[in-house]
């Protein structure tokens, strides 16, 4: 997937607002309400019958169950013994009867349309995007809470009433839950959501939700790159070639008090060198490129493509479903990062790789900058890795 494809997908999902305004004005900043209708494309992200889509996953998703609610009437029922859609439905209903809202994560494998949308967000953010479903019955209510990732909710079936704090989002640190205060909800904004409606809730914004009619709503969670993560990326980048940052600061923890002055001097010296480097735009750009390369490489691996056999100039090649790539150039090699893999390819292939990354469909003869045997070898690696497939 390339940037233009990702923007087009997100534009449609966020219509009538559009992607540019969402990223500029809302992501990580303030709530958004986008009314829709039952026939809006986003209402069909799990197909025309979301219940059927979910229940068809009876062999995989009961084991992933989560749940929450206020006022439950007993412990959650056992998830053992699900042997088909009917028994999966019965298990959901049994949770509902005891007051639980069912939470089902990892929905991308259940819908190619949803998986493509998640990959569009990943292409633009260079951060993982996740999707889950909440299935609840009338009267279910979530405890007051906040999320540690930005949350786009889409009502698929039924109706929910959301209560959102009017305070500024805390932008809670996802890695830390130390000594948190109880979550409060003062003078909330009340929003009723029906099929096709979209609600964006920034991370750290207190909210609760009650179910008005039997409801299935989709939750897509995102995490933009924060200032904290950018600083960490810059420090990681500097430490790759500044050996002093990799020397030992603290050995025995029981020596902390005695060693603190020396540690402090090391830390201050390291931060001063980091600050000097961060004043150089090229340094920070390189640090963020390296961070993107690691993120993309950590995504789930693409399946291998079938090799088309003998390659000819007229062989048509296309980006496989879910394909995305970032490139990081070193003096000798290109680090080609794609979901689940890093391929290290000679620097001479850079023009060819840049063309391939930017061109979703092409003929082999159009690949520039390489002799035919080297070109075919590069294409073979990208086929084997699952990035390309024969058209």
242 phi/psi in degrees, rounded to 5: -110, 100
The DSSP code for 306 is: P
**Half-sphere CA count of 333, side-chain side, radius 13 A:** 7
pTM for this predicted structure: 0.91
- Could you say which of 235, 262, 292 is where a domain stops? 292
- Could you say which of 292, 321, 347 is where a domain stops? 292
Number of H helices, E strands in the chain: 10, 14
Between CA 150 and CA 133, with CA 41 as vertex, the angle to 5 degrees is 45
176 phi/psi in degrees, rounded to 5: -135, 130
**Is the domain of 175 the same as that of 264?**
no
Per-residue pLDDT, 212: 92
Mean pLDDT, all residues of the chain: 91
Between CA 355 and CA 366, with CA 361 as vertex, the angle to 5 degrees is 50
Per-residue pLDDT, 158: 95
**Is the domain of 116 the same as that of 39?**
yes
> Domain count of the chain?
3
* Average pLDDT for 16-28: 93
Position 184 pLDDT exceeds 80? no
Exposed, middle or buried: residue 323 (CB in 10 Å: 0-12, 13-18, 19+)?
buried
- Region at 131 (left for phi over 0; alpha for psi -120 to 50; beta for the rest): beta
**Is the domain of 216 the same as that of 271?**
no
* Average pLDDT for 265-291: 94
**Is the domain of 61 the same as that of 110?**
yes
**Is the domain of 278 the same as that of 304?**
no
State pLDDT tens for residues 185-222.
878 899 999 999 999 999 989 999 999 999 999 999 99
Strands of 333-338's sheet, edge to edge? 326-329, 333-338, 341-346
**Is the domain of 268 the same as that of 383?**
no
- Residue 162 in contact with residue 190, Cβ under 8 Å? yes
- Could you say which of 189, 222, 255 is where a domain stops? 222
Per-residue pLDDT, 81: 85
Confidence of residue 181 (pLDDT cuts 50, 70, 90): low
Q: How many angstroms separate the CA atoms of 58 and 88, rounded? A: 6
**Is the domain of 25 the same as that of 116?**
yes
**Is the domain of 91 the same as that of 129?**
yes
Residue 69: give its domain's CATH number: 2.60.120.650
**Is the domain of 282 the same as that of 138?**
no
| Residue 345 in tokens | 């390819």
State pLDDT tens for residues 156-166.
999 999 999 99
Per-residue pLDDT, 63: 85
State pLDDT tens for residues 76-104.
888 888 999 999 999 999 999 888 899 99
Per-residue pLDDT, 175: 62
Per-residue pLDDT, 127: 94
- Residue 364 in contact with residue 372, Cβ under 8 Å? no
**Is the domain of 25 the same as that of 114?**
yes
**Is the domain of 63 the same as that of 132?**
yes
Position 178 pLDDT exceeds 70? no
Position 47 pLDDT exceeds 90? yes
Position 334 pLDDT exceeds 90? yes
**Is the domain of 306 the same as that of 381?**
yes
337 phi/psi in degrees, rounded to 5: -105, 125
**Per-residue b or e along 181-193, where b marks 16 or more CB atoms closer than 10 Å to that residue's CB:** eeeebeebeebeb
Position 177 pLDDT exceeds 70? no
Per-residue pLDDT, 180: 57
Residue 328: give its domain's CATH number: 3.90.930.40
Position 141 pLDDT exceeds 70? yes
| Residue numbers of the domain that contains 162 | 3-222
| Residue 318 in tokens | 């296309």
Find the range with the poorest average confidence among 225-239, 263-277, 297-311: 297-311
């Amino acid at each position: 997937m390339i940037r233009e494809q990702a923007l087009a997908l997100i534009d449609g999902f966020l219509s009538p607002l559009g992607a540019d305004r969402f990223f500029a004005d809302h992501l990580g900043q303030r709530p958004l309400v986008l009314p829709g209708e039952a026939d809006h494309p986003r209402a069909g992200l799990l197909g025309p019958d979301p219940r059927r889509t979910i229940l068809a996953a009876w062999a995989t998703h009961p084991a992933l169950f989560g749940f929450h609610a206020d006022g439950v009437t007993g412990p959650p029922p056992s998830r053992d013994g699900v042997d088909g859609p009917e028994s999966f439905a019965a298990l959901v209903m049994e949770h509902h009867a005891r007051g639980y809202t069912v939470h089902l994560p990892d929905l991308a494998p259940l819908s190619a349309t949803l998986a493509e949308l998640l990959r569009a967000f990943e292409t633009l953010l260079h951060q993982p995007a996740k999707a889950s479903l909440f299935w609840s019955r009338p009267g279910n209510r979530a405890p007051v809470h906040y999320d540690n990732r930005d949350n786009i909710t889409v009502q698929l079936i039924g109706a929910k009433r959301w209560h959102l704090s009017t305070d500024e989002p805390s932008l809670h640190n996802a890695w830390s839950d130390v000594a948190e205060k109880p979550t409060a909800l003062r003078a909330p904004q009340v929003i009723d959501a029906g099929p096709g409606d979209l609600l964006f809730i920034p991370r750290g914004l207190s909210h609760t939700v009650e179910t008005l009619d039997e409801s299935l709503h989709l939750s897509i969670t995102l995490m933009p790159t924060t200032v904290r993560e950018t600083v960490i990326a810059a420090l990681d980048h500097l430490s790759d070639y500044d050996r002093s940052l990799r020397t030992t600061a603290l050995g025995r923890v029981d020596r902390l008090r005695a060693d603190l002055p020396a540690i402090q001097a090391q830390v201050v010296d390291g931060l001063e060198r980091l600050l000097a480097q961060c004043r150089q735009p090229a340094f920070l750009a390189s640090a963020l490129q390296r961070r993107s390369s690691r993120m993309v490489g950590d995504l789930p691996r693409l399946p291998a493509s079938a090799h088309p056999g003998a390659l000819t100039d007229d062989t048509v090649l296309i980006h496989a479903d879910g394909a995305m790539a970032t490139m990081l150039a070193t003096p000798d090699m290109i680090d080609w990062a794609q979901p689940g893999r890093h391929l290290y390819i000679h620097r001479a292939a850079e023009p060819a790789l840049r063309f391939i990354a930017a061109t979703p469909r092409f003929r082999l003869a159009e690949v520039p900058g390489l002799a035919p045997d080297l070109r075919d070898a590069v294409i073979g690696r990208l086929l084997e890795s699952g990035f390309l497939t024969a058209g």
